[in-house]
A and B are shown apart, each in its own frame.
Chain A
Amino acid sequence: MSTLVEIRDLRKTYQTGSICFEALRGISLDVKEGDFAAIMGQSGSGKSTLLHITGGLDQPTSGSVRVGGTMLQAMSERELALFRRSQVGFVFQFFNLIENLSVQANVELPALLKSGQSRRDIHKRCAFLLERLGIADQAHKYPWELSGGQQQRVAIARALINQPALLLADEPTGNLDSASGDEVLNILRQFNQQGQTILMVTHAASAAAQADYIFFIRDGLLVDQMPGGDEKAIAQHLADLR
């Protein structure tokens, strides 16, 4: 498998007044196509910043990010928008659905922002995803009419509507009860098994266990890496890092 995400010596410094905060202090890592990778670390360790830069939401202070051969730091605002629209899909902890759009409209939104796609194809793909995620009967409902787990499924469908190369998930189970969380992780696993590359930020060992491998970050540095699967080992490793 070829490398999909290639991060080299990534640094990010935030400046508030005279105070500088180094969120990332030179991280390098690779994620291959078809991998399910997780990033773990404590709050403030820099894992979300890493995810945001990888998804083209933020720009690094230095270093490079290459996704599918595209160097992100050289891109304009518009190019980054087009990149996010076609190359990556985002799933957030708080779902971030548009409240007054129906489930179907939410899912189709990224595809409709893109020109050159037929509405029919978009509808078909949306229907397929909703069916796969088990919420086809909710298509005409609004987000506020759904449970948390259902809302997160809608968010996953929305993230996948444009068939992105990379799915980025930021604490996707953080706002769900354990049953709903497990369902969401299973769904992610299923999509991964069908070839979808996933990079997930989490601080839950149970979630990270679903990943093929896990990157551990502390104070903006990549401090370790281990394979997924064993939830206890992961939890222990995380505890050791504290």
Chain B
Amino acid sequence: MHAVWQKIWADLVHRRLVSLLILGTIAAAAALLTLALTTLFNLEAPYDKSHAELNGAHLWLHFKPGRVRSMDIRQIESLPQVTESTGRQFSYTTSVRFDAQRVLVSLRAISLEPPRVNRLRLLSGRFLLPEEDALLISRDLRDIYHLGAGDYLEITCADGRRVSLPIVGVVYDPMYDNYRSSLPPYIYLTQDLLASLFPDKSTWEWSLGLRLANPEEVQSVLEQIEAMRTVTFIASHTDWRDVRSSAIFDAQMAFIFLSAFSLFAILATVLIVVSIVSSTVLAQIRQIGILKAVGFTGQQVLGVYVGQYALLSLLGTVLGFLLGLWLSPLPLKTVTASLNTIYQPPFNPWTMLIVFCAVPGITMSAAAMASARGVRVNTIQAIAVGGETLLKKAFWLARLLEKAGAPMPLVLGVNDVFIKPLRSLLAGINLTLGVMGVVFGLALSDTIRVYRHNPALLGIVYDAIVTREQSSDERAQRLIGQAPGVEAFYGEYLLEAKTLDGRSLKLRAVEGSLEAFPFHILEGRFFQPDTSEALAGKGLLDWLGLSVGDSLTLILDKDDGPQATWVIVGEYPEPADAGQRLMVNLSSVRPLLKHSSPSVYYLKLAPSADAEAIRAFLSPRRESDLNFMLMEDVIPSTVIYLQIAVFMLAGILIGIAMVNILIMSLLSAQEKLRVVGILKTLGMTPWQVITMFVTTATFLGVLSIVAGVPAGLVLTRNLLNLMASFTGFGQISVTLENLAFWGLLPFTLFVSVLGSFLPARWAAKVYIVEVLRKE
């Protein structure tokens, strides 16, 4: 045993550089795997932490005006599953004005003392002070309209007075939800202030937040509450799990990328280890023969090699695991930032177990497989001829190049690729993985660029939106039609609907110049006017298990509302509610619902249109209620963050590939010392030696481009479509710009040259006499 350890130590010290490079590669793989697992195991944790800190409600009930009584509230609060309640909450829906914008909001009364249930988290500014006429705004208003502490909002009171009130803070509400919900942004104020603005309390809306003994029992509690009365008194509800789902959406995307790249890194590590161990064993066959001759058993020889990689993989995994833990808050950063909380994923023994089983396990298995060859070697043959069982004939391409008059170092370099086909294949696959990583990053970046320039692909087919409040639909349509620079528009009536099995969704009922808008139909066709045909978002089809051609019957507006059936004739990229929406002709809804007229209008503007001129035309006076909003950045910033993350990970893969090329060239140089010595004796100059080595790596680089680009595009397409199924977009068309594609060739060649240059230089400097003497 002592002899085995002595040999392990001697080998590791003798091949210091190679050992360090392998250690680094294993550490990178372990770090990526740790990151992916930590993200997976903690996807929901930042929200849960924030929810727990704020003692968030599990179920929020929004009551229909005038239908709920105080005794109903008491009865709900006394349900056995309800542990705590916010008490009756008052709100009033109105619009506020700032600059030239008018936005529908919900003014919500809060107490000055922090409530027991569903506390608000201050994101910036401060909370309200006693007897202060000031406002707190929800995060949405900050993110969409860039409002913050110090800004003023103008509210038109019930008596027509206009009151300008300062914003003193931005808050996060753990139960504010915009997923399958049409809740307007929240503004918080004291109850006294609400009463002074809108004194008629009968116009106030009531709501109630409940904490449950078992947070998973939201549905059964809701059913009990609904069963309390014969009349429908709940307008809508918010389930804390839905809020959590939308909060962690970004982390889910990060997880998809991280896990894909972790698998890549693990695969690359396996390839490197197999390649290196095979090469090391081959280079040491003579030594193995001597070891066996002096009494090493087959198992001891195996122990020498597996032992080396056991040490390296354990150390590498420890380093990688620690690095992964250190970096683990990063993928969850978008979630924690949006919740304004700090979250350090806790130590998870499962993550540790998986990483410490997977990485050393795979590494040692690879080492065992490769070194089994050394165990099987015939002792006498090993001592006599070593392990130089190379390809015995020149490769046909090398012969062809030689006949074509190519310089000899080039011919020899190409020939070297095929002398050891297995190792070249492994290095080639590794480099291919790197190329795939870069193609992945480039294709993602290019696809985002294409989608940004053509938001229709995301379902954003319009340039601007107009909303109306008091104005009639006719007036709004007339004004929009006359507005300067408006080429076409269509109106939308957004209504709530339920499937027959009780699943709620939003319906877009549209009418107008639909043909003027570049709707992107993923499958099927656009619906015909004045028919009961519909388009469905991918998310809706997946959610309900439907496909194009199926019929869908919905209950409209309320539980006892009319039913209607539509035939789904196409699929479109629906940007809202994870694609779980249906788009239909307004004409198919109008006979069923009397007041179904559009309240939102989508505009197509002329290229030269002046947004300010349109805004001034539609809202010439302060009291005008047509609100114009230009569509700007439709790609969320989190996608950009992921883009950066993907490039960083691609960089790691390229780094691993470069390390592999370096190791391959280094081992090749060590094994080929005798040949290099002969070639130098025959008059090969140092530069020609370098050219020979670099040619081998460059040739592999070219092969990896040929294999890596299509494979990378397939990977990108599949991963993006996986992402798309989360978002409900449907198929995403992946693009790769020509320039980026052609840029890959020199880049990969550069990586190959860089990886092989140092070993090549070392080989070029070899001391001929020493090499020949060792013979």
- A residues neighboring B (CB under 8 Å): 49, 52, 55, 57-58, 77-78, 81-86, 90, 92, 94, 96-102, 105, 109-110, 112-114, 119, 142, 144, 158, 162
Contacts and interface: CB of A to CB of B under 8 A. Distances in A.
B419 interface: yes
Nearest to B391: A100
A98 B392 contact: no
Interface of B: 388, 390-394, 402, 405, 407-409, 415, 419, 674-675, 678-688, 765, 768-769, 772, 775
Given A78-B687, A98-B675, A109 B392 contact: no
A100 B686 contact: no
B671 to A, nearest CB: 13
A113 B392 contact: no
Most buried by B among A55, A78, A112, A144: A112
Given A58-B769, A100-B391, A110 B682 contact: yes
* CB-based closest 5 A-B pairs: A85-B683, A81-B685, A112-B408, A110-B682, A96-B678
B772 A158 contact: no
Contact of B769 (A52, A94, A96, A142): A52
Given A57-B681, A81-B684, A113 B408 contact: yes
Most buried by A among B393, B682, B688, B765: B682
Contacts of B674: 96
B768 A90 contact: no
A186 B409 CA distance: 34
Contacts of A92: 772
13 contacts: A58-B768, A78-B686, A78-B687, A82-B685, A84-B683, A85-B683, A96-B775, A102-B393, A109-B408, A112-B408, A113-B682, A142-B393, A144-B392
Given A101-B394, A119-B405, A144-B392, A158 B682 contact: yes
A78 B685 contact: yes
A162 B391 CA distance: 28
Contact of A110 (B388, B675, B683): B683
A222 to B, nearest CB: 20
Contact of B390 (A55, A96, A100, A162): A100
B408 A94 contact: no
Contacts of B388: 99
Contacts of A94: 775
Given A55-B681, A100-B415, 10 more contacts: A57-B772, A81-B680, A81-B686, A96-B674, A98-B678, A99-B388, A100-B393, A105-B394, A109-B679, A144-B392
Contacts of A86: 683
B642 to A, nearest CB: 48
Contacts of B682: 84-85, 90, 109-110, 113, 158
B683 A113 contact: yes
B392 A99 contact: yes
Contacts of B775: 94, 96
A103 to B, nearest CB: 11
Given A52-B769, A58-B768, A142-B392, A113 B402 contact: no
A78 B681 CA distance: 12
A119 B406 CA distance: 11
Nearest to B402: A105
A57 B683 contact: no
Contacts of A112: 402, 407-408
A97 B768 CA distance: 15
A228 B768 CA distance: 31
B405 A99 contact: no
Contacts of B390: 99-100
Contacts of B684: 81, 85, 113
A57 B769 contact: yes
A84 B393 CA distance: 27
B103 to A, nearest CB: 76
Contacts of A110: 682-683
B769 A100 contact: no
A144 B394 CA distance: 13
Contact of B681 (A77, A84, A99): A84
A81 B408 contact: no
Contacts of B768: 52, 57-58
Contacts of A90: 681-682
Nearest to B404: A119
B420 to A, nearest CB: 11
Most buried by B among A58, A100, A114: A100
Contacts of B769: 49, 52, 57-58
Contacts of B686: 77-78, 81
Contacts of B394: 100-102, 105
Nearest to B686: A77
A16 to B, nearest CB: 11
A90 B769 CA distance: 13
A58 B674 CA distance: 16
Nearest to A90: B681
A100 B683 contact: no
Nearest to A81: B685
Contacts of A99: 388, 390, 392
Given A92-B772, A98-B678, A114 B683 contact: yes
B689 to A, nearest CB: 9
B683 A81 contact: yes
A201 to B, nearest CB: 13
A94 to B, nearest CB: 6
Contacts of A78: 685-687
B135 to A, nearest CB: 79
A18 to B, nearest CB: 19
Nearest to A92: B772
Nearest to B388: A99
Nearest to B408: A112
Nearest to B770: A58
B518 to A, nearest CB: 61
B685 A100 contact: no
Contacts of A102: 393-394
A147 B679 CA distance: 22
A67 to B, nearest CB: 14
A153 to B, nearest CB: 17
A119 B415 CA distance: 20
Contacts of A119: 405
A48 to B, nearest CB: 8
B612 to A, nearest CB: 71
B408 A100 contact: no
Given A58-B768, A113-B408, A113-B682, A100 B688 contact: no
A58 B402 CA distance: 31
A82 B683 contact: yes
Contacts of B679: 98, 109, 113
B404 to A, nearest CB: 10
B193 to A, nearest CB: 87
Most buried by A among B388, B402, B407, B409: B402
Nearest to A86: B683
Nearest to A84: B683
